[in-house]
Amino acid sequence: MKKEKVQVRICVGTACFVQGGSDLLLYNDFVDPAIIAECEIEGCSCLEACKVDGEGAPYVMIDGEVHSKVTQEEFARLLTQAVKNA
Amino acid sequence: MLELNNQYTAMKRRIDTEVLKLFFAGKLDELDRLPFTIIPKDRTPNRCCIYKERAIVRYRIMALLGIDIERFDDEMKPLSEYAKEVMQEDPPVLPLLTTISTGCYGCPPDQYRISDACRGCFARPCMANCPKDAIVFINGQAHINEERCIRCGKCMDVCPFHAVVHIPVPCEEACPVGAVKKNEKGVVEIDHKNCISCGRCARSCPFGAIAERSGLIPVLKMLQSGQKVTAMIAPAIEGQFPGTLAQIRASLLKIGFDKVVEVAEGAAVTTEHEADEVVRRKGEGEGYMTTSCCSAYMELVDKHLKFLDERYSRAFSPMIYTSRMCKEQDPDNRTVFIGPCLAKRVEAARRGGVDGVITFSELAAIFMAKGIDVREEEAADLGDTSAFDYCRQFAITHGVADCVLSRVADPASIRVLPINGVDKKTFRLMKSWEKRAPEVDLVEVMCCEGGCIDGPGTIVKPAVAMKLRGGTKAATPVASVKAPL
């Protein structure tokens, strides 16, 4: 059976986008291509997470779990981990 | 210059948004509480203590209100009082930049230092190459004699162990014209007579001790008072927000602008003028011509390169043409330029004809405060843009020259020299033109490296903006707008 790809959603709501989320869209420049190949990365509408706690932008959802304050390094790390666990 | 995304920018965005939330709620009288909400008691401070952090938040708010902190800082005066005054009367635009002396770290003077990595080697290239004999060896390690050192950096270049470090003063290093200096107390000061308002210093200080005085409140007052306001969006806006130009337009209409016009439309007029002019000058053997659309460059000519007075194109900037067109069409409308640029405020104040200037990051704060999500907006009709859409390239280095060339009968005959960013080095180069003119026909000057898309008022890194511009394939994550979760 083919392995399910890791589902990655980068929040590109305005608040996330202007607070660093836009940087994550450059994922091709800083994430290992082998890891990217295992993931399905997409921009998505506001995850509404900012309305719960206002200070965690930018948010990223990986396989249903929401992560806050995601930097480029953190993004690469989370993806690697998710691919390993998949 | 600082990387765009850092804790200071994040803090700035947060402060701007919180202030605007209060503004829209009509609660500016609660402004005095804001430094305490933003810097709560249990925060681990990045500065020496939370009290200093709160003080700096207060100054940031003052800068956002447009107050000249250098002259009108009264520590006993509550923010709400300042706000009340600003609501009654718009503060003057100039000077554009203001220093927050309390925030200044008082960096030690620009210096080269030799670190522990020095092995005191036998060859000692540092000593051999120092033009001023400033390197001495003590206990088998190199040291720099500060009195002799002229900070040329040769020792750093030649050390095989990379043991020499350069410790700059970021603001002084960033200023192309030497207008940022430290006073006798070692605290930053701006010489406003020489400042060209490019905003480099404000972007370079890691302590946030230099701030631009915002023109946001006067614009919001216009919108609130029910006046009809036309938003003029700079060509650099594409890629600054998630979503397409049409969605950005829709979002602007939603926050209360009456009309949204692309400055690229005025840029087309600038282009036609410059194309005619460059051909005419070449035909008459007058030598090189420079572009005139960069406001900080025009300040540079005015204050430091007077000899270029007859060299720059007589065409007005796209902002001015666009504003004229808007006022011809709707004489009652006021015009607000929304761009990546701080110096545009200076241009608007000096030349007149434009009623307000705000930056993309200030616009982002409005969107966030109002909870508007650009990419969720129904796209608004952009109308027919085919006459001027090639001028959206004005935002990128070489873009203005390319537009001009596309309007010249024989583009190959025009030799172009782009000045991609005015720093200390390019400023020296431009000064040398007084004695020896560059052998080109068109000099395109952009004060920010990479062009306006890397201006001080931008939100995203130029690399991201480039990917999102023009709906390229790389923009797929954003293109999948209504993708269900």
Domains assigned to chain A: 6-85 (3.40.30.10)
C-beta atoms of A18 and B364 within 8 A: yes
Give the best residue of B6, B13, B375, B473 to mutate against chain A (max A CB count within 10 A): B375
Are residues B269 and B191 located together in one domain of the fold? no
Nearest CA in chain B to A17: B242
CATH no. for residue B141? 3.30.70.20
Q: Is residue B485 part of a domain?
A: no
For Cα atoms B364, B365, B368, give the angle at the middle one, nearest 5 degrees. Answer: 85
Closest CA to B214 of B68, B114, B29, B70: B68
The residue of A8, A11, A14 whose CB has the most chain B CBs within 10 angstroms, and thus the best one to mutate to test that interface, is A14
Does residue A86 sit at the B interface (CB-CB below 8 Å)?
A: no
Q: What is the pLDDT of residue B281?
A: 93
User: Pick from A14, A26, A29: which is nearest to B374 by CB?
Assistant: A14
Residue with token string 């998710």 = A82
**The two structure tokens encoding residue B60:** 């940031």
Question: Is A14 at the interface with chain B, CB within 8 A?
Answer: yes
Shortest CA gap A45–chain B (Å): 7
Task: Based on the fold, state whether residues B226 and B194 are members of the same structural domain.
Answer: no
**Within a 10 A sphere around the Cβ of B117, how many other Cβ atoms?**
12
- Pairwise CA distance, residues B167 & A59, whole Å: 36
Number of H helices, E strands in chain A: 6, 4
B310 and B455 co-located in one domain: yes
User: Does a structural domain hold residue B311?
Assistant: yes
Going by pLDDT thresholds of 50, 70 and 90, the confidence category of residue A2 is low
A26 touches B at CB < 8 Å = yes
B97 occurs within a structural domain: yes
Question: Do B296 and B405 meet the contact criterion of CB atoms below 8 Å apart?
Answer: no
CA B415 to chain centre: 28
In the beta sheet, which residues pair with residue B141?
A: B138
Residue with tokens 């719960």: A52
Q: What is the CATH number of the domain that holds B295?
A: 3.40.50
DSSP state, B312? B
Number of structural domains (chain B) is: 3
Q: At what angle do helices B343-351 and B318-329 cross, to 10 degrees?
A: 50
Nearest neighbour of B13 by CB, restricted to A9, A19, A25: A19
Query: Which candidate from A9, A14, A45 shows the least CB-CB separation from B368?
Result: A14
End-to-end CA distance of chain A: 13
pLDDT of B379:
85
Distances (CA, A) of B203 to B40, B110, B199, B448, B463: 26, 18, 6, 12, 18
Residue B140 lies in a domain: yes
Reported pTM:
0.90
Q: Could you give the CA distance from residue B291 to residue B306 in angstroms, rounded to a whole number?
A: 15
Domain that holds residue B122: 111-167
Residues contacting residue B49 through CB under 8 Å, at least 6 positions apart: none
Res A42 pLDDT > 50: yes
Q: For a pLDDT cut of 70, what percent of chain A falls above it? A: 94
Phi, psi dihedrals of residue B395, rounded to the nearest 5°: -80, -10
B162 lies in the same domain as B178: no
Does a structural domain hold residue B116?
yes
Please say if the pLDDT value at position A1 is more than 70. no
Same domain, B276 and B365: yes
B21 with B74, same domain: the answer is: yes
Inter-chain touch A12–B242, beta carbons under 8 Å = yes
Q: For an interface test with B, give the residue of A8, A12, A16, A41 to mutate (most B CBs within 10 A).
A: A12
The answer to whether residues B30 and B148 belong to one domain is no
Listed in order, strand segments (DSSP E) in B148-278 are: 164-167, 180-182, 188-190, 210-212, 229-233, 259-262
Return the residue in B248, B464, B468 with the most chain A beta carbons within 10 A, the one to mutate for interface testing: B464
Q: Give me B190's structure tokens.
A: 């701006």
pLDDT(A86) > 80: no
Does B335 share its domain with B444?
Answer: yes
Burial label for B155, CB within 10 Å (0-12, 13-18, 19+), is buried
Chain B residue with Cα closest to A14: B373
pLDDT score of B482: 37
Residues B294, B313 within the same domain: yes
> Exposed, middle or buried: residue B482 (CB in 10 Å: 0-12, 13-18, 19+)?
exposed
The confidence score (pLDDT) of residue B378 equals 86
The one-letter code for the residue type at B180 is V
> Do both B262 and B401 map to the same domain?
yes
Per-residue confidence (pLDDT) for residue B5, from 0 to 100: 76
Does residue B363 lie within any of the structural domains? yes
Distance CA B462, CA B453 (A): 6
**Nearest-CA residue of chain B relative to A43?**
B477
Predicted confidence (pLDDT) per residue in B456-481, tens digit: 999 999 988 888 887 543 333 333 33
A45 touches B: beta carbon within 8 Å:
yes
**B336 with B218: CB under 8 angstroms?**
no
pLDDT of residue B418: 95
Question: Are B242 and B294 contained in the same domain?
Answer: yes
The segments of chain B whose pLDDT lies below 70 read 471-485
Local structure of residue B159 (DSSP, 8 states): -
Give B463's contacts in chain A (Cβ within 8 Å). Answer: 26, 29
Start-to-end CA span in chain B (Å): 38
pLDDT at B288: 94
Q: Considering only CB atoms, which chain B residues are within 8 Å of A15? A: 368
Contact of B155 with B126, CB cutoff 8 Å:
yes
Same domain for B306 and B359, yes or no, is: yes
Task: Please state the rounded mean pLDDT for residues A3-30.
Answer: 87
Structure-block tokens of residue B121: 């080697």
pLDDT digits (tens, 9 = 90+) for B211-255: 999 999 999 999 999 999 999 999 999 989 988 889 999 999 999
Query: Given this model, what pLDDT does residue B471 score?
Result: 54
Contact state of B477 with A10 under an 8 Å Cβ cutoff: yes
Kindly determine whether residue A17 and residue B241, on different chains, have CB atoms separated by under 8 Å: yes
Residue B160 maps to a domain: yes
Give domain status of residue B477, yes or no: no
Question: What pLDDT score was predicted for residue B473?
Answer: 36
